[in-house]
């Protein structure tokens, strides 16, 4: 697979989830390939969510030192920070595509890092946001080509009443 691939929180969490063997295996395979090809990307937001999920939300959770070691390893992927540029882009994506705030920051982080693929279960499989295509990592086979599917934003009409037609 060519191009940069943005990894959302669920893939990182499932790679550590021994209760869901089939998803754990698929997640581990994806991550191994991304490490091997050196095209994995993520964000500081994702790493924060990962740490909290595996240490506090999962029962039993990972020991904090083990979760922190994972986070430190993913720093090699140069995670996108939440800065003013990403906030502005996130707001634009939120308004244009009616995404949740957190999802808009994920899509924006993938765009800023010039990723062609966003692996997540949280958005519609196959949807595109510009050059970033969303795929569910548990439905997409690693050898499958990335389909192109582009969403055209609805034209913005502004607020208020529509203009009246003038007849002559």
Q: What is the pLDDT of residues 69-85, one digit of tens each?
A: 999 999 999 999 999 99
What is the domain-level CATH number for residue 106?
Answer: 3.40.50.1010
Q: Which residue has the higher pLDDT, 39 or 152?
A: 39
- The reported pLDDT for the residue numbered 60 is 86
Cβ contacts of 127 within 8 Å, gap of 6 or more: 133, 134, 149, 151
Are 108 and 124 in contact by the 8 Å Cβ rule? The answer is: no
Assigned domain for 143 exists = no
Q: What is the pLDDT of residue 165?
A: 53
Q: Does some domain include residue 163?
A: no
Q: 133: burial class by Cβ within 10 Å (0-12, 13-18, 19+)? A: buried
Cβ atoms of residues 27 and 137 within 8 Å: yes
Mean pLDDT of the chain: 88
* pLDDT exceeds cutoff 90 at 146: no
Instruction: Give the number of domains in the chain.
Output: 1
Using CA of residue 158, residue 160, residue 162, residue 163, what is the dihedral sign? Answer: negative
Distance, in Å, from the CA atom of 74 to the CA atom of 26, rounded to the nearest integer, reads 18
Separation between Cα atoms, residue 15 and residue 28, nearest integer Å: 5
Q: What is the pLDDT of residue 144?
A: 59
Instruction: Give the mean pLDDT of 121-138.
Output: 95
pLDDT band at 166 (very low <50, low <70, confident <90, very high): low
Domain that includes residue 36, residue range: 4-135
Question: What DSSP letter does each residue of 2-66 carry, written as one string?
Answer: -SEEEE-HHHHHHTT-TTSHHHHHHHHHHHHHHHHHT-EE-BHHHHHHHHHIIIIISSSPPPHHH
Residue at 164 is within a domain: no
Among 36-50, 72-86, 134-148, the least confident range: 134-148
Query: Is 140 a member of any domain?
Result: no
Render pLDDT for 89-99 as a digit per residue (tens, 0 to 9). Answer: 999 999 999 99
């Amino acid at each position: 697979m060519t191009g940069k691939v943005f990894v959302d929180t669920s893939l990182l969490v499932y790679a550590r989830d021994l209760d869901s063997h089939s998803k754990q295996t698929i997640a581990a395979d994806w991550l191994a390939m991304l490490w091997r090809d050196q095209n994995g990307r993520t964000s500081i937001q994702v790493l924060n969510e990962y740490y909290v999920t595996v240490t506090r939300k999962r029962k039993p959770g990972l020991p904090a030192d083990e979760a922190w070691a994972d986070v430190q390893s993913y720093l090699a992927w140069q995670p996108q920070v939440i800065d003013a540029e990403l906030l502005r882009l996130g707001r634009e994506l939120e308004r244009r595509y009616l995404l949740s705030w957190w999802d808009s920051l994920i899509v924006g982080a993938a765009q800023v890092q010039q990723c062609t693929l966003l692996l997540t279960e949280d958005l519609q499989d196959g949807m595109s946001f510009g050059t970033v295509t969303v795929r569910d990592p548990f439905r997409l086979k690693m050898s499958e080509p990335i389909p192109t599917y582009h969403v055209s934003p609805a034209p913005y009409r502004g607020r208020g009443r529509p203009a009246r037609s003038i007849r002559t």
